[in-house]
Amino acid sequence: MYMTSSSVGESDQNVSKKNAGYYAAELVRDGMVVGLGTGSTVFYAMERLAEKIRDGMNIVGIPTSYQAECRAREYGIPLATLHDYTELDIAIDGADQIDPKGFLIKGRGAAQTQERCVAAASRLFVVVADVSKQTPSLSAPVPVEVIPSAASLAAKMLSAMGGTPVVREGVKKDGPVITDNGNWIIDCTFAEIPDPLALETDINNIPGVLSCGIFAEFTEKSKIVIGKKESAEIMLF
């Protein structure tokens, strides 16, 4: 169990996220290479890592997105890439949904492809989330990164799998969301996802798809940290 002090005016959800992020940061040891995910809960982990760096800890961060890279630089976290390190000690990342078996849906930030690469390279995959992300079964739209020329084909094949695909539109930008890799995101809703691992494999095998947001293959090396208002705890699955 881990607990941080809260600031006046902080919402319960932000306190929960901070507890989860700080817990994950305490798993990082001097000399580690650390995958840095995208999202608000991971940024709390970066905040704590920055404090530890100022106290003398040496680490190298591998960001999963431009957003994560920019935030890490603001915090003074030294950075490298997967070209420099193909094996990481630990990766800290968030999730949009978490089911009781530790299966995840990620990708609301459109960074799931690079997040998958960093997770695959890591010995330990630490997922940080507040309690609102826990769900009895995965039900959120599944983000699918696809090269633009294959978007219509991918949408057709997703429909054949029982999904309802919709190209994600930009905010304050006309047209589709463009990922850091220069691709589009299709958000695909399924009435139910009884076998996340099988669906993940089927979607990732669609020609033109880089990666989907179902993360079901990393459970054996995952540690899921659930933040609450009072503390953070490891989820058992």
Does 95 carry a binding-site annotation?
yes
Q: Give the 3-state secondary structure of residue 209.
A: strand
Return phi, psi of residue 210, to 5°.
-85, -45
Q: Strand (E) positions, the chain?
A: 33-36, 60-63, 88-93, 97-98, 104-105, 122-130, 142-146, 163-167, 184-190, 209-212, 214-215, 222-227, 232-234
Does 133 carry a binding-site annotation?
yes
Does 94 carry a binding-site annotation?
yes
Pairing of strands 104-105, 163-167: unpaired
> What are the catalytic residues?
115
Q: What is the 3-state secondary structure (H, E, C) of 40-53?
A: HHHHHHHHHHHHHH
Does 211 carry a binding-site annotation?
no
Does 38 carry a binding-site annotation?
yes
Cα–Cα dist 162/180, whole Å = 28
- Angstrom CA distances, 1 to 40, 125, 166, 176, 231, stand at 21, 18, 40, 42, 6
CA 150 vs. chain centroid, Å, equals: 24
Cα–Cα dist 97/127, whole Å = 11
The two structure tokens encoding residue 2? 């881990």
76 secondary structure, DSSP code: T
Does 40 carry a binding-site annotation?
yes
Does 41 carry a binding-site annotation?
yes
Binding-site positions read 38-41, 93-96, 106-109, 133
Annotated binding site for substrate: 38-41, 93-96, 106-109, 133
